[in-house]
Amino acid sequence: MSSKVIHALYDDDDVLLNAVKEVRAANHHIEEVYTPFPVHGLDKAMGVAPTRLAIMAFLYGITGLGFAIWFLNYIMIVDWPQNIGGKPSGSFLENVPAFIPVMFEMTVFFAAHLMVITFYMRSKIWPFRKAENPDPRTTDDKFLMEIEVDGNEDEMTSLLESTGAIEIKVKEKH
Amino acid sequence: MMGHYEAPIREPIITGDKSYHDVTLDVVAPIEGKANKSWYIAFTIALVAFLWGVGAIIYTIGTGIGVWGLNNRINWAWDITNFVWWVGIGHAGTLISAVLLLFRQKWRMGINRSAEAMTIFAVFQAGLFPLIHMGRIWNGFYTLPVPNPLGSLWVNFNSPLLWDVFAISTYLSVSLVFWWTGLLPDFAMIRDRATKPFQKKIYSLVSFGWSGRAKDWQRFEEVSLVLAGLATPLVLSVHTIVSFDFATSVIPGWHSTVYPPYFVAGAVFSGFAMVQTLLLIMRKVSNLEDYITRVHVENMNKVILVTGGIVTVAYLSELFVGWYTGSSYEDFVYLSVGAATGPYWWAFWSLIMCVAVIPQFFWIKKIRTNYIWTFIISIFINIGMWFERFDIIVINLSRGHLPSSWTMFSPTFVDIGIFVGTLGFFFVLFLLYARTFPVIAQAEVKSILKSSGNNYKRERDNPTAKKEEVKKETVIIKEEVKEEVAIEKIDIASDEEKQAKTNSLLDSLGKFDATTQKPDDLKKISGIGPVMETTLNQIGIYTFDQVSKMTNKEYDLLDSITGSFPGRAQRDDWAGQAKKLKS
């Protein structure tokens, strides 16, 4: 394993996108790309697998709905089947119209919050977490590609230079 | 550039020839700068109003709801009027960030952050009223279905007031995480620019360590899209549930199936009016004229026109159905003493004027695209929509089934004080927000800059007049790799020429006195690594103060002493950076 990485800095998203494609075509592994805003098509160009967060949100929503049905049924029908203003309390289905608003809200509540929490956990972002972008300019207007160097430093440097990088930095990996 | 193609018919929505960095600078300007006098004046007024409201709330809770103008028959008035009004205002924020995202409307980018802030702050105000209008607020927690030692004694899920609890708390919490997640990249940008340690700490904390990796962005966009997909039905359901407070009752004028969509349309209508009111001021005060343009204002006015039209159609259908049912009670609603000709005729006609008539002026392009007219009409809409809720609640309650219980309502100073207090609280929050939060979603604006910025559009429309390509030279840096590319140690003492240069350099920068001064961490300056710091220390430069005095002459001297990386210090503006670090 090499202990060095190259940081190539770009100042344009289109140049970066082309560079990513070229570096990938030359069979180099891109460790990471840091951008100040979502560059559309970057994940495809890098070959990042699609995210499954939407699937999780769907499952969380189903969980919320199931939970709401269970607890509305338990409270209103099983535990205290009372007559409140003539509303039928004999079975869940008899009184289901009155339960729909809460069932709906619980579905949304579970889907939204659990998905966001999943996102935070998976992307490792939470309060007091230290930022790991190697160059502060990458949250402003620069785009940074990080590539591992495996004894081919000069070759990598010239390749990156040809892709229009404005700054190439060879760094100790940490 | 094909990826950024946009039909030439579309007007630019970012003006002023912005680059990515310009967007950054414009967004951080209010945060990094100091508040001016008018901000302090506005803040003081809002704070006083807020404190007055706090006093009125404490008085209400301490003495009893009887200090309000409510009576036996009209048992909801300003409290619920203001609740529905504030909730309605909050809806535009979600509409702008969620619905417009689903419809891929690029013009939402300039306004969504502030509209969402408005949502959050308006829902805060709305959330106060269900609490303080309770006779026994200290038992408020009984609205939650929590296991308890009374049996457990649960809540009744048949009541729309309980649905409200679920709707409002879901709405507030989901809006909050939606907003906050969108803020992470913007907070990260401020964090990475911050030079003051306290500011840096705060923005590091709130940006949750956002680093902007490709995978993060992929997830970020998916989360935004799914949240938008969830927030859209949420926003429709919340005001629907609020409308159920009335629509599920048996009171003539309230019991109506048109309420759910009509309330939602009214909410979007009033919410957009409030966005206009706020943003027209904000674009001036915070110098955001290039991001909140005539196009944004006109588009919002078109939404106001559509939703105002829907509301007007709902009025007409209510009127028609009131007559068509043949119910003598329903018949009251519009044309009789119940509204248009009764004691509340002024409230009814203010509503018709402000909601159904005045916004129709937006059909005229001259008015729709005029900032002043838009501002004036937006104020009328805010007033009109307050009257709509007041009329629905109070007029219908004042003339009910039984003539012996017909009565009138007049608010006390406590009713008014609490409403004024919520206005104050809202502006306190909004003014603080405008000074500490990135009020434009800069990451999103940057992503549409190339398709919708006026400079890029101009280039696309006139390919011949294309900017000449500036050939950029690649800078290759290896100095921060220790050992391998270590810089030769400079033996200053042995070289007489270098010694002389060093002395003249220190003459202009000032000498470092180790007995009274402390050396600064020069590595904080971008461009100075550990090796360079050692070199600078050898020369005798230890403090930011010294570095900050550097000019071109000193840069040249330094370059000739160290003999490495010519021009580096100048390019990175070490002096400028040091000046900031010093303070």
- Compute the Cα dihedral for B458, B463, B464, B465 and give only its sign: positive
Which 3 state secondary structure label does DSSP give A151? coil
Q: Given an 8 Å threshold on Cβ–Cβ distance, is A131 in contact with B482?
A: no
Q: B333 pLDDT exceeds 70?
A: no
* 3-class secondary structure per residue, B308-353: HHHHHHHHHHHHHHHHHCCCHHHHHHHHCCCCCCCCCHHHHHHHHH
If you ran DSSP here, which 8-state letter would residue A135 be given? S
Look at residue B379 in the predicted model and tell me its pLDDT: 95
Taking 90 as the threshold, does the pLDDT of residue B578 lie above it? no
- Between chains, do A108 and B166 touch, taking CB under 8 Å as contact? no
Please determine, for residue B181, whether its predicted confidence score (pLDDT) is greater than 70: yes
- At B454 the pLDDT is 83
Mutate to test the interface with A, among B153, B217, B250 (most CBs of A within 10 A): B217
pLDDT tens per residue, range B397-446: 888 888 898 899 999 999 999 999 999 999 999 999 999 999 999 999 99
**Are the CB atoms for A166 and B475 separated by under 8 Å?**
yes
Chain A residues close to B19, C-beta within 8 Å: 141
For residue A54, give the nearest of B1, B226, B447 by CB distance.
B226
Q: How confident is the model at residue B576 (pLDDT cuts 50, 70, 90)?
A: confident
Residue B490 reports pLDDT greater than 50: no
State pTM to two decimals. 0.83
**Distance, first Cα to last Cα, chain A:** 13
Instruction: Output the pLDDT for position B195.
Output: 82
Segment A102-111 mean pLDDT? 96
pLDDT of residue B336: 61
Nearest to B219 among A42, A53, A127 (CB): A53
SS3 category, A29: coil
Min Cα separation A3/chain B (Å):
10
CB pairs under 8 A between A and B: 239
Tokens of B451: 């398709």
Residues of chain A found within 8 Å of residue B233, distances taken between Cβ atoms: 104, 108
- Give residue B281's identity as a one-letter amino acid code: I
pLDDT band at B18 (very low <50, low <70, confident <90, very high): confident
Percent of chain B with pLDDT over 70: 89
pLDDT at B481 over 50: no
Alpha-carbon torsion, ordered B493, B498, B503, B507, to 10 deg: -150
Task: Return the pLDDT at B173.
Answer: 94
**Which residues of chain B does A133 touch, with a Cβ-Cβ cutoff of 8 Å?**
188, 192, 211-212
Are B167 and A37 inside 8 Å of each other by CB?
A: no
Q: Which two tokens stand for residue B330?
A: 């329903």
- Of B583, B499, B573, the residue nearest B540 (C-alpha): B499
Would you state the pLDDT for residue B538?
Answer: 75
- The residue ranking higher by pLDDT, A60 or B521, is A60
Residues forming CATH 3.30.70 domain(s) in chain A: 4-49+132-172
- For residue A118, give both structure tokens: 């999943």
* Model confidence pLDDT, tens digit, residues B43-83: 999 999 999 999 999 999 999 999 999 999 999 999 999 99
Contact assessment for residue B212 and residue B191, using Cβ atoms and an 8 Å cutoff: no
Residue B36 token pair: 């001016």
Distance from the B528 Cα atom to the nearest Cα atom in chain A, whole angstroms: 13
| B352-357, Cβ contacts within 8 angstroms, sequence gap of 24 or more | B352/B315, B353/B380, B353/B384, B354/B380, B354/B381, B354/B383, B354/B384, B354/B385, B354/B387, B355/B269, B355/B308, B355/B311, B355/B312, B355/B315, B355/B381, B355/B384, B355/B385, B355/B387, B355/B388, B356/B308, B356/B311, B356/B312, B356/B315
Residue A146: phi and psi, rounded to 5, are -110, 125
Looking at residue B3, its pLDDT comes to 59
Q: Kindly tell me if the per-residue pLDDT of B162 is higher than 60.
A: yes
Fold of domain A4-49+132-172: Alpha-Beta Plaits (3.30.70)
Closest Cβ–Cβ partner in A105, A132, A168 for B476: A168
Q: How confident is the model at residue B484 (pLDDT cuts 50, 70, 90)?
A: very low
A169: nearest CB among B216, B226, B477: B477
Backbone angles phi, psi at B196, to 5 degrees: -75, 135
Q: Which residues of B touch A131 (CB under 8 A)?
A: 188, 191-192, 204, 207, 209-211
How confident is the model at residue B89, as a pLDDT? Answer: 92
CB contact under 8 A, A79 and B477: no
- A75, A105, A137, A174: best to mutate for the B interface, most B CBs within 10 A: A105
* pLDDT reported for residue B29: 87
Residues whose CB is less than 8 angstroms from the CB of residue A169 and which lie 6 or more positions away in sequence, other chains included: A6, A7, A8, A9, B476, B477, B478, B480
The verdict on a CB contact (< 8 Å) between A53 and B212 is: no
Which residues have CB under 8 Å from B194's CB, separation 6+?
B200, B203
Amino acid, res. B294: R
Q: Give the confidence band of B32 by pLDDT, cuts at 50, 70, 90.
A: confident
pLDDT tier, B488 (very low <50, low <70, confident <90, very high otherwise) = very low
In a mutational test of the A interface, the residue from B263, B478, B528 whose CB has the highest number of chain A CBs within 10 Å is B478
Percentage of the residues of chain B whose pLDDT score is greater than 90? 51
Q: What rounded mean pLDDT belongs to chain B?
A: 85
Nearest to B241 by CA among B263, B256, B270, B258: B263
Helix (H) or strand (E) holding B97, with range, is none
d(CA B99, CA B303): 12
Residues of A in contact with B158 (CB under 8 A): 76, 84-85, 87, 95, 98
The yes-or-no verdict on residue A28 having pLDDT over 90 is no
If one compares A82 and B497, the residue with the highest pLDDT of the two is A82
Instruction: List chain A residues with CB under 8 Å of B184.
Output: 125
Which residues in chain B are closer than 8 Å to A125, comparing Cβ atoms? 184, 208-210, 216
**CB distance B191–A51 less than 8 Å?**
no
- Please judge whether B480 and A138 are an interchain contact, meaning their C-beta atoms are less than 8 angstroms apart: no
Mean pLDDT of chain A: 89
What pLDDT band is residue A158 in, cutting at 50, 70 and 90?
A: confident
Is residue B522 over pLDDT 90?
Answer: no
Chain A contact probe: residue of B245, B476, B480 with most A CBs at under 10 A: B476
Q: What per-residue confidence (pLDDT) applies to B466?
A: 54
- Test A108 with B189 for CB contact under 8 angstroms: no
How far B480 CA sits from the closest chain A CA (Å)? 6
Among the partner-chain residues B152, B156, B222, the one whose CB lies closest to the CB of A53 is B222
B213 and A34: CB-CB below 8 Å?
Answer: yes
**Residues of chain A contacting B221 with CB distance shorter than 8 Å:** 38
Closest Cα in chain B, distance from residue A9 (Å): 9
Task: Spell out the domains of chain B, with CATH numbers in brackets.
Answer: 20-133+156-439 (1.20.1630.10), 495-581 (no CATH)
Asked whether the CA dihedral B227, B232, B237, B239 is positive or negative, the reply is positive
